[in-house]
Amino acid sequence: MSPVILSAAGAALVLDDSGPGLPRVRHFGAGLGPVAGPGLLPALASPAPPLLPAQGDSWYGRPGLSGVRDGEQWPVRWTLERCDVAAEPGSGGTVTVTASDARAGLELVSELVMDGGGLVRMRHQVRNAAASPYRVEGLVCALPVPARAGELLDFTGRWALEKVPQRRAFGHGVWSRENRRGRTGHDGTGLLVAGTEGFGFRTGEVWAVHAGWSGGHVHYAERIAEGVSLLAAGELLEPGEVVLGEGESYRTPWVYFTWSGGGLDDASARLHGHLRARSLPVRPVTLNNWEATYFDHGLDRLLELADKAAAAGIERFVLDDGWFRHRRHDRAGLGDWYVDEGVWPDGLHPLADRVRKLGMQFGLWFEPEMVNPDSDLAREHPDWILGRAERMPPPQRHQQVLDLARPEAYAYLLERLDTLVGEYALDYIKWDHNRDIAEPVHGGVPGVHAQTVAVYRLLDELRRRHPALEIESCSSGGARIDYGILARTDRVWTSDSNDALDRQAIQRWTGLLVPPERLGSHVGAPRDHVTGRSLPLAFRAATALFGHMGVEWDLTSAGQEELEELGTWIALHKRLRPVLHAGRVVRADHPDPSASLHGVVLPERAVYAFAQLTSRVDIAPAPLRLPGLDPAALYEVRVAGPAPERSGMPEWAAAPVRLPGSVLGELGLPAPVLRPATALLIEVERV
């Protein structure tokens, strides 16, 4: 029998569907070129795991499906019923597998999709075909990786310092990253990567997995003595959270798999291609007033801030926390989604009207999933809080979680959001989620799954009613960044820290999963409100420029020179935006750990940033080898935007030079000698 082959963009997935069990994955990785039918399978890896590994398939690692039936228990052995394939060589395609186990009383439908960029996404659906209930305890998606993948990379972090990388050897056993925070989490790995030893941004062969789910989730890598290794991910279910009655089904979230033969950058490009398949309008430069005014919502002050913002070239004004009833601090008011009449006697219209008269869009902050115990909503509907009425969950940030799976709570939030979006013709919502979910109970069982589904449904319905509305996912910064939430929102708030030094690393690693145009990146105040570190405006702006640029700074306190400099950087961002928000992201494996070099490349243009982060050890800096250019093309190279002090600049920075891509990529440019917390932008154009 001929194998099932999906191939695109130099990647391939090969399935053996000869049965009688589930198809086995013979290969996931590099494209195999023109292959000849049945002669391929004997040459490929054996043993090979099935799509859903189980002990009946001689798999003695973690099972793909785990569950318990209330009644007679049967281990699952799937019988393949159908394998439907719709594929075009070189363009990807889909495979839908249908299987069942009559003895176990279960039916399975597995879907695999490879898009034109070579990214694979997978999900399973299990159906209970028996009369007794079936408790799903785990259902994951997995693909094998070869033995040469000897190293693992994953990510951890905390509030205001997300996506901190950690690496280890890929040995026998399981390396599992499990999240029970009820949201994706500051310490959520986002990507779990396996690769050849020493892989980097531009070198090595890598495989990676991402669970597109905003509730509890698991990512793991496993290697067993039988010579099989795999990456797997899925929803992390609590006992009793999903119980299927007869005829009921549970379907996993989409799980995404990517492969690269050229380091992390190529794997990242495949992931970016998936998100970019949903086009976005031009990303307006955004001002958020939070770090400028906090809870001080004096109209005159906000109007002055709007005037300064418009003069600097800002295109969107977002009013953050503090506009609704009883919200003079963070201990009251959450859930009371009515404009505070005492602060805003004429509603938000005076501010919204001025903002639009100045040519800017208007946006508003919400935290819909949360409630303060000190609120009208909590006093009127204490039963709407997610948890047991007899013993409330421990509070965090003076707030509890609303049970959105309750129809009444869901209906209240939809009505309030819909009404306010309509009344103020909102262009934008900043949708926040500022605490982990502890002890969630809905209907007497664990409630994170139901909560996550309800949040998705609320977002989907709001978008249906207001198709032009843009939504930002913020969750104490970067605690809810995943493809489940990004399917319903237009950008994420990358971190609550605007400290540009920390942001350099946070944005680099978050950017493996999310392209720049969806990463909120703001110019903060001269002294950062999280770290207390003071950094020059040029470095803050150069860092924010490589994302969805914005400002979070009290511009009424800035001097005229600062405002003019900020305006220059915003104008530069707008000029470079067609490249920054459409090009391929590249990151150099720069030899000096005190510096970084990254960029965004289109066939005709590219923009790079060389950032000196800390003090160098070497007297002479390493050359700047610009990745991603066509070696056969000729390029003009020049400094973009305001340049750092000239004393440390090489000769090429004084005037444009022309060099072939082979020289720029292999030999590189002489590097400037920069002080710490300084960046140089380089613009490259094909001639």
Here the CATH number for the domain that contains residue 629 is 2.60.40.1180
| 470 neighbors 488 (Cβ within 8 angstroms) | no
- Give the pLDDT mean for 21-32: 95
646 pLDDT more than 70: no
Q: Are residues 271 and 297 in the same domain?
A: no
Q: Are residues 66 and 136 in the same domain?
A: yes
Q: Are residues 187 and 315 in the same domain?
A: no
**638 occurs within a structural domain:** yes
pLDDT band at 643 (very low <50, low <70, confident <90, very high): confident
Q: Are residues 504 and 648 in the same domain?
A: no
23 pLDDT more than 60: yes
Q: How far apart are CA 376 and CA 549, in angstroms?
A: 37
**281 occurs within a structural domain:** no
User: Cα dihedral sign for 463, 236, 75, 104?
Assistant: negative
**Residue 106: exposed, middle, or buried by beta-carbon count in 10 A (0-12, 13-18, 19+)?**
buried
- Give the pLDDT mean for 225-236: 96
Do β-strands 242-244 and 93-101 pair in parallel, antiparallel, or remain unpaired? unpaired
**Listed residues 534, 551, 581: the one ending a domain:** 581
Beta strands of 396-449 (E only): which ranges? 400-401, 428-431, 441-442, 445-446
- Give the pLDDT mean for 577-596: 97
Query: What confidence score (pLDDT) does residue 36 get?
Result: 57
What are the structure tokens assigned to 356, written together? 């639009």
Q: Are residues 268 and 220 in the same domain?
A: yes
Q: Are residues 262 and 345 in the same domain?
A: no
**47 occurs within a structural domain:** yes
pLDDT 10s digits, 108-140: 999 999 999 999 999 999 999 999 999 999 999
214 pLDDT more than 70: yes
- DSSP for 169-228 reads E--SEEEEEEE-SSS--TT--S-EEEESTT--SSSS-EEEEEE--SSSEEEEEEEETTTE
Q: How far apart are CA 681 and CA 629, in angstroms?
A: 16
- Give the pLDDT mean for 425-435: 98
Q: Are residues 567 and 626 in the same domain?
A: no
682 pLDDT more than 70: yes
**Residue 409: exposed, middle, or buried by beta-carbon count in 10 A (0-12, 13-18, 19+)?**
buried
Q: How far apart are CA 109 and CA 95, in angstroms?
A: 10
pLDDT 10s digits, 167-183: 999 999 999 999 999 99
pLDDT 10s digits, 276-308: 999 999 999 999 999 999 999 999 999 999 999
Q: Are residues 569 and 615 in the same domain?
A: no
Q: Are residues 33 and 124 in the same domain?
A: yes
pLDDT band at 37 (very low <50, low <70, confident <90, very high): low
Q: Which residues are catalytic?
A: 432, 496
Residues 6+ apart with CB under 8 A from 645: 675
Q: Are residues 247 and 319 in the same domain?
A: no
502 pLDDT more than 70: yes
**650 occurs within a structural domain:** yes
18 pLDDT more than 80: yes
Q: Are residues 27 and 113 in the same domain?
A: yes
pLDDT band at 408 (very low <50, low <70, confident <90, very high): very high
For the chain, give the percent of residues with pLDDT over 70.
99
Residues 6+ apart with CB under 8 A from 99: 21, 22, 78, 79, 80, 81, 107, 108, 110
**Listed residues 548, 581, 614: the one ending a domain:** 581
| Domains contained in the chain, number | 3
| 21 neighbors 50 (Cβ within 8 angstroms) | yes
**282 occurs within a structural domain:** no
- Give the pLDDT mean for 527-541: 97
| 50 neighbors 20 (Cβ within 8 angstroms) | no
- Give the pLDDT mean for 609-638: 96
- Paired with 660 in beta bridges are 634
**Listed residues 529, 548, 581: the one ending a domain:** 581
Query: What confidence score (pLDDT) does residue 44 get?
Result: 80
Q: How far apart are CA 261 and CA 353, in angstroms?
A: 53
Query: What confidence score (pLDDT) does residue 35 get?
Result: 66
Q: Are residues 576 and 601 in the same domain?
A: no
**455 occurs within a structural domain:** yes
Q: How far apart are CA 48 and CA 33, in angstroms?
A: 21
| 32 neighbors 7 (Cβ within 8 angstroms) | yes
71 pLDDT more than 90: no
**479 occurs within a structural domain:** yes
For residue 360, give the CATH number of its domain. Answer: 3.20.20.70
Q: Whole-model pTM above 0.95?
A: yes
| 587 neighbors 624 (Cβ within 8 angstroms) | no
Domain range for 649: 588-686
pLDDT band at 362 (very low <50, low <70, confident <90, very high): very high
How does the average pLDDT of the chain come out, rounded?
96
**170 occurs within a structural domain:** yes
For residue 156, give the CATH number of its domain. Answer: 2.70.98.60
The residue to which tokens 């905390």 are assigned:
158
User: Cα dihedral sign for 552, 556, 559, 563?
Assistant: positive
- Give the pLDDT mean for 34-59: 82
